[in-house]
């Protein structure tokens, strides 16, 4: 049996504000963070069931590398959760403030529909 895949995550003191803000600047990643804040740990597939696997992997990797999420392998699943405690320790109130002002950008979906 192959060992479970492990993922590298930045230590709490190494989480950098510019990387966190960059990760949150993309509407899709911001919606993923909102879902994680609302639902807790989920299978990464649940964050973008209609997305190509490569797109989902790209965005979840960026969230992990920025320090926003913790990812772990569970069998064939890739479980992901928001690092709320670490983020609150490093940047008190940041995630709460960002999510309080978050409004889903439905115009992105409308733009894609009109292009089709």
pLDDT tens over the chain, length 116 residues: 555 678 899 999 999 999 999 999 999 999 999 999 999 999 999 999 899 999 999 999 999 999 999 999 998 899 999 999 999 999 999 999 998 887 776 544 444 444 44
Here the CATH number for the domain that contains residue 28 is 1.10.10.10
Could you tell me if residue 98 is inside a domain?
Answer: yes
Residue 3 lies in a domain: no
User: Residue 115: its pLDDT value, please?
Assistant: 45
Residue 109: predicted pLDDT? 45
Report the alpha-carbon angle 52-54-60, nearest 5: 105
Closest to 62 in 3D by CA, of 3, 98, 10, 12: 10
Structural domain total, the chain: 1
Q: How do residues 50-73 score in pLDDT, each as one tens digit?
A: 999 999 999 999 999 999 999 999
> Within a domain: residue 78?
yes
Would residue 20 count as lying in a domain? yes
């Amino acid at each position: 049996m192959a060992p479970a895949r492990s993922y590298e995550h930045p230590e709490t003191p190494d989480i950098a504000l510019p990387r966190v803000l960059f990760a949150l600047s993309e509407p899709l990643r911001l919606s993923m963070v909102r879902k994680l804040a609302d639902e807790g740990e989920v299978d990464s597939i649940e964050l973008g069931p209609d997305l190509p696997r490569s797109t989902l992997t790209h965005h979840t990797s960026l969230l992990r590398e920025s320090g926003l999420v913790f990812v772990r392998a569970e069998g064939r699943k890739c479980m992901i959760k928001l690092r709320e405690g670490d983020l609150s320790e490093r940047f008190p109130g940041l995630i709460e403030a960002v999510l309080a002002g978050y409004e889903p950008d439905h115009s992105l979906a409308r733009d894609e529909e009109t292009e089709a």
